[in-house]
Amino acid sequence: VVFVIVYLYYMFNRKSKIANIDEKYVLITGCDSGFGRAIAERLDQVGVNVFAACLTDSAVNELKVHSKKMIPFVLDVTNSEQIKNTVALVKKKLPDGKGLWGLVNNAGIADSGFIEWLPMETFRKVADVNLFGLIEVTCQFLPLIKKEKGRVVNMASLAGIQAPPVTAPYSISKFGLVAFTNTLRFEMLAFGVRVCCICPTFFRTNILDTEKLVTGMNTLFEAVNDEVKESYKD
C-alpha cells in the first residue's frame, strides 16, 4: 500500500509543479476498500476533485461521510449501462470545457485454485472485471481524458508479470491488462495522454483475505470429481 500511495503522491500531489490542483478531476474505480479507497481519500485530501466509483451502497455512504467534496457513486464495471450512466454523471459534474485529468482503474477481484479444480465460469468472471470491464471503462472515458491531455493509471499486479501457482484466472487477467496498457500507451502518445501500469506485489487488501482464500480452495476441492480429488490427496 505504501508503494502505491508514494507513486500516486508523485503523480498527483506535486503541488509546486501542478498548477490549480483543485481544478483537476480524477475518476477512480474500486473505491470500496484497499488501494482504491486509499487513493481516493488521499487525492481528495490534497484538493483533487474525485469521482469515486464503488461496488456497494455502503461504501458510497462511508465516503460521503468522509468528504463533502468527493463524488462517490455505485458502478459495476461489468455493467455497460452503468458505465454509460457514469459517463453522463461525470460530464454533468465537470465544468464547461473540462475533461478528466486522470482515470485510475483499480476495481478488481481474485479467485484462487488449481486450474484443474476451476470451472470455466471462474475464468470468465475474473476476466470480466479485471480486464474487459476495465477496457470498457477506459474506452468510454478516453474522449474526456484526451480533452485534458490526462493520464490513465491501471492497477495490475506482480501476477501480471510472473504468474504464481493457483492464481490462473487472476494472473491471466493481469497479463492481459499489462498488454492492454502497453498498447494503449503507444496509441495515446499522439494525444499527449500518459498511460501507465502499477504492478504491486502482495499487500494486505481484501483480495488477500487468507481465511476467504482457504475457504474458497476447500469449496473447490469438494466440488471436483473423485478422480481429480484422489490425485491431489497426496
Give me the phi and psi of 75, to 5 degrees please: -150, 120
pLDDT band for position 209 (cuts 50, 70, 90): low
What's the Rg (C-alpha) of the chain? 19
Nearest to 138 by CA among 183, 104, 98, 172: 104
Least confident of 13-17, 35-39, 186-190, 222-226: 13-17
Residue-by-residue DSSP string for 13-24: --TTTSTTGGG-
Let me know if 33 is exposed, middle or buried by CB neighbors in 10 A (0-12, 13-18, 19+).
middle
**DSSP letters along 136-164, please?**
HHHHHHHHHHHHHT-EEEEE--GGGTSPP
**Of 15 and 103, the one with more pLDDT:** 103
Report the C-alpha gap between 154 and 193 in whole angstroms.
13
Range 46-56 average pLDDT: 98
Report the residue count for the chain: 234
155 neighbors 106 (Cβ within 8 angstroms):
yes
The grid coordinates listed for 87 are 459517463
Catalytic residues: 170
Top mean pLDDT of 10-14, 17-21, 51-55, 225-229 is at 51-55
* Mean pLDDT lowest among 17-26, 85-94, 163-172, 219-228: 219-228
Q: What is the pLDDT of residue 28?
A: 99
According to CATH, the superfamily of the domain at 22-231 is NAD(P)-binding Rossmann-like Domain (3.40.50.720)
pLDDT tens-place string over residues 62-121: 999 989 999 999 999 999 999 999 999 999 999 999 999 999 999 999 988 999 999 999
Q: Are 103 and 145 in contact (CB under 8 A)?
A: yes
Q: Spell out the domain ranges in the chain.
A: 22-231
CA distance 108 to 36: 10
Output the pLDDT for position 211.
72
Q: Residue 93: its pLDDT value, please?
A: 98
Q: Give yes or no for residue 34 having a pLDDT over 80.
A: yes
Contact 153, 104 (CB under 8 A): yes
pTM value? 0.86
Answer whether residue 30 shows pLDDT above 70: yes
Count Cβ atoms within 10 A of the Cβ of residue 203 and give its class: 0-12 exposed, 13-18 middle, 19 or more buried. middle
**For residues 185-209, average pLDDT:** 83
State the CB neighbour count (10 A cutoff) for residue 130: 26
Q: Is residue 109 a contact partner of residue 129, using CB atoms and an 8 Å limit?
A: yes
Task: Report whether 109 contacts 130 (CB < 8 A).
Answer: yes
pLDDT digits (tens, 9 = 90+) for 153-162: 999 999 999 9
Return the C-alpha torsion angle 121, 126, 129, 135, nearest 10.
-100
